[in-house]
Chain A
Amino acid sequence: MEVGMLPISASKRGKLLSTGYTTLLSISRASLADLARDLQVSEPEASEIMKCASKTSTLDLSNGTHNTTVVNGGQTAWAMLNEEKFSLHITTSCMDLDNILGGGINCKEVTEIGGVPGIGKTQIGIQLAVNVQIPPEYGGLGGKAIYIDTEGSFMVERVLQIAEACIEDMSEYSNHFRKDLQASEVKMHPDSILENIFYFRVCSYTEQIALVNYLDKFITEHKDVKIIIIDSVTFHFRQDFDDMALRTRLLSAMALKLMKLASKFCLAVVLLNQVTTKHIDGSFQLTLALGDSWSHSCTNRIILFWNGNDRHAFIDKSPSLKSASAQYSVTPRGIRNSTSCKRIKMM
Chain B
Amino acid sequence: MKPENLLQNIHLRTQKCSVGCPTLNHFLNGGVPCNSITELVAESGSGKTQFCLQLALSAQLPPSHGGLSASSLYIHSEFPFPIRRLRQLSLALRSTYPHLFRSVDPCDSVFVRGVYSADEFVQLIPIIELHILNSKFRLPVRVIVVDSIAALFRSDFENTGSDLRRRSSLFFKISGALKSLAKRYGLAVMVTNQVVDMIGGACPGITGMRIGNLTELYSSGRQICPALGLAWANCVNSRLFLSRDQAVNGNGELYQRRRLCVVFAPHLPASSCDIVIKGEGVFGVEMQQA
A residues at B contact (CB < 8 Å): 116-118, 122-123, 146, 151-160, 190-191, 194-195, 197-201, 203-204, 210-211, 214, 218, 234-236, 238-241, 274-277, 279, 283-284, 286, 289, 306, 308-309, 332
30 A-B pairs with C-beta separation under 8 A: A116-B211, A117-B233, A117-B236, A117-B239, A118-B263, A122-B266, A146-B3, A152-B35, A152-B37, A152-B182, A152-B183, A155-B36, A156-B6, A156-B9, A157-B29, A157-B267, A158-B267, A159-B6, A160-B12, A160-B13, A200-B4, A201-B183, A204-B180, A210-B1, A214-B1, A235-B234, A239-B173, A276-B230, A276-B231, A284-B205
Q: Flag if B35 contacts A211 (CB, 8 Å).
A: no
Report the separation of the CA atoms of residues A198 and B161 in the bound assembly, to the nearest whole angstrom.
41
Interface residues of B in 32-90 (CB under 8 A from A): 33, 35-37
Known pairs A156-B12, A200-B3, A210-B1 / 9 extra A-B pairs, C-beta < 8 Å: A122-B266, A152-B36, A157-B267, A158-B267, A199-B3, A201-B35, A203-B179, A239-B173, A284-B206
* B27 vs chain A, min Cβ distance (A): 15
Q: B117 within 8 Å of A by Cβ?
A: no
Report the separation of the CA atoms of residues A65 and B176 in the bound assembly, to the nearest whole angstrom.
51
Whose C-beta in chain A lies nearest to the C-beta of B236? A117
CB neighbours (8 Å) of B29 from chain A are: 157
Q: B121 within 8 Å of A by Cβ?
A: no
4 residue pairs, one from A and one from B, having the closest CB atoms? A118-B264, A239-B172, A118-B212, A198-B3
Whose C-beta in chain B lies nearest to the C-beta of A308? B215
B residues at A contact (CB < 8 Å): 1, 3-7, 9, 12-14, 29, 33, 35-37, 161, 168-169, 172-173, 175-176, 179-180, 182-184, 205-206, 209-213, 215, 230-231, 233-234, 236-237, 239, 263-264, 266-267, 269
Q: Flag if B172 contacts A238 (CB, 8 Å).
A: yes
Report the separation of the CA atoms of residues A203 and B263 in the bound assembly, to the nearest whole angstrom.
25
* B142 vs chain A, min Cβ distance (A): 15
A156-B9, A157-B13, A274-B234 given; A235·B212 CB < 8 A: no
A157-B29, A160-B12 given; A199·B6 CB < 8 A: yes
* B245 vs chain A, min Cβ distance (A): 21
- Cβ-defined partner of A239 (8 Å) among B176, B206, B269: B176
Whose C-beta in chain B lies nearest to the C-beta of A156? B9
* A294 vs chain B, min Cβ distance (A): 16
Most A CB atoms within 10 A — which of B29, B169, B182, B230? B230
Q: Is the interface of A mostly helix, strand, loop or mixed?
A: mixed
Report the separation of the CA atoms of residues A17 and B215 in the bound assembly, to the nearest whole angstrom.
76
Q: Flag if B266 contacts A123 (CB, 8 Å).
A: yes
Report the separation of the CA atoms of residues A262 and B176 in the bound assembly, to the nearest whole angstrom.
28
* B203 vs chain A, min Cβ distance (A): 12
- Cβ-defined partner of B206 (8 Å) among A146, A154, A236, A277: A277
CB neighbours (8 Å) of A332 from chain B are: 269
Whose C-beta in chain A lies nearest to the C-beta of B16? A157
Report the separation of the CA atoms of residues A151 and B29 in the bound assembly, to the nearest whole angstrom.
20
CB neighbours (8 Å) of A151 from chain B are: 179, 237
Q: Flag if B169 contacts A238 (CB, 8 Å).
A: yes
Report the separation of the CA atoms of residues A332 and B184 in the bound assembly, to the nearest whole angstrom.
30
- Cβ-defined partner of A152 (8 Å) among B172, B179, B206, B211: B179
Report the separation of the CA atoms of residues A4 and B239 in the bound assembly, to the nearest whole angstrom.
73
A118-B263, A240-B173 given; A195·B237 CB < 8 A: no
Whose C-beta in chain A lies nearest to the C-beta of B234? A274
Whose C-beta in chain A lies nearest to the C-beta of B172? A239
Q: Flag if A117 contacts B264 (CB, 8 Å).
A: yes
Q: Flag if A194 contacts B7 (CB, 8 Å).
A: yes
Whose C-beta in chain B lies nearest to the C-beta of A238? B172
CB neighbours (8 Å) of B13 from chain A are: 155-157, 160
